[in-house]
Amino acid sequence: MMEMADRLYASYWLRGFTPAKMLQHFETALRKFPFSQLAAAATVVRVYAVSFQEAPVLEVPLPAPPGVDGIVALSRDFLHDDACIQVETFWDLWSWDSEWKLQPARIQLECLGPAFEDAGEGENLRIDFGLEDQFLPSREKEGMAMIRANIQSVLRLVHDLDEALPVERRQLWSESGENFAEKLQATLRGADPPE
């Protein structure tokens, strides 16, 4: 039986995070995000009230690459302590499709109000990087440089957000709850057997 890949997330808890500062913090994060230069597909901005179980109160596609000012302007009227602003967009990663190519990869950035029901452990910002196998090396040596570049993209974004935001705590985690850093180290040990 083939094992399904987990999704990779980053969660942020920010000092002084309030509904009044939500959009300011999210705008800062979006300005640090490397939007895809290759994507032709639209970015979608959604605002959820209360929970992801509810239909979005706003869902607007924006042409690629999206402007941060447009995202902020769209979201401003829907800010409440129980809201989530979600931006489904693209960034450029290496992926395998009969050969290695740098191409747009889907990613979601979310700003979660303090009363939003699906804010796990009270997190303020969440990034859904997609399937973690984009960031885990396989046994084929020729793909190591591309996987390493993808990992560096994640680490660069995390570093940039750490420097730009008042981060109290940050967690990089897998959907299964496993520690991604440990999983990466174990995979690297398996991909590079001792000589």
User: Considering the domain boundaries, does residue 195 fall inside one?
Assistant: no
Q: Are residues 124 and 112 in contact, defined by beta-carbon separation less than 8 angstroms?
A: yes
Give me 97's structure tokens: 């499709």
The count of domains in the chain is 1
Side-chain-facing half-sphere of 55: CA atoms under 13 Å: 1
User: Considering the domain boundaries, does residue 55 fall inside one?
Assistant: yes
User: Considering the domain boundaries, does residue 117 fall inside one?
Assistant: yes
User: Helix, strand, or coil here: 99?
Assistant: coil
pTM greater than 0.85: yes
Neighbouring C-beta atoms of residue 133, cutoff 10 Å: 15
Q: What is the pLDDT of residues 119-176, one digit of tens each?
A: 778 899 999 999 888 887 665 556 788 888 999 999 999 999 999 999 999 988 888 8
Q: What is the pLDDT of residues 76-119, one digit of tens each?
A: 988 888 999 999 999 999 988 888 899 999 999 999 999 998 87
- As a whole number of angstroms, the distance between CA 97 and CA 106 comes to 16
Residue 137 phi, psi dihedral angles, 5° rounding: -70, 150
Q: Are residues 104 and 39 in contact, defined by beta-carbon separation less than 8 angstroms?
A: yes
Cα diameter, the chain = 60
Q: Are residues 111 and 124 in contact, defined by beta-carbon separation less than 8 angstroms?
A: yes
User: Considering the domain boundaries, does residue 180 fall inside one?
Assistant: yes
Find the DSSP H helices in the chain.
Answer: 22-32, 68-76, 144-164, 180-191
DSSP conformation class of 179:
B
Residue in the block written with tokens 């129980």: 82
User: Considering the domain boundaries, does residue 177 fall inside one?
Assistant: yes
Preceding peptide of 65 cis, ω within 30°: yes
Tell me which residue range forms the domain holding 96. 7-190
Smallest CA-to-CA distance from 12 within 176, 164, 157, 162 is with 162
pLDDT band for position 189 (50/70/90)? low
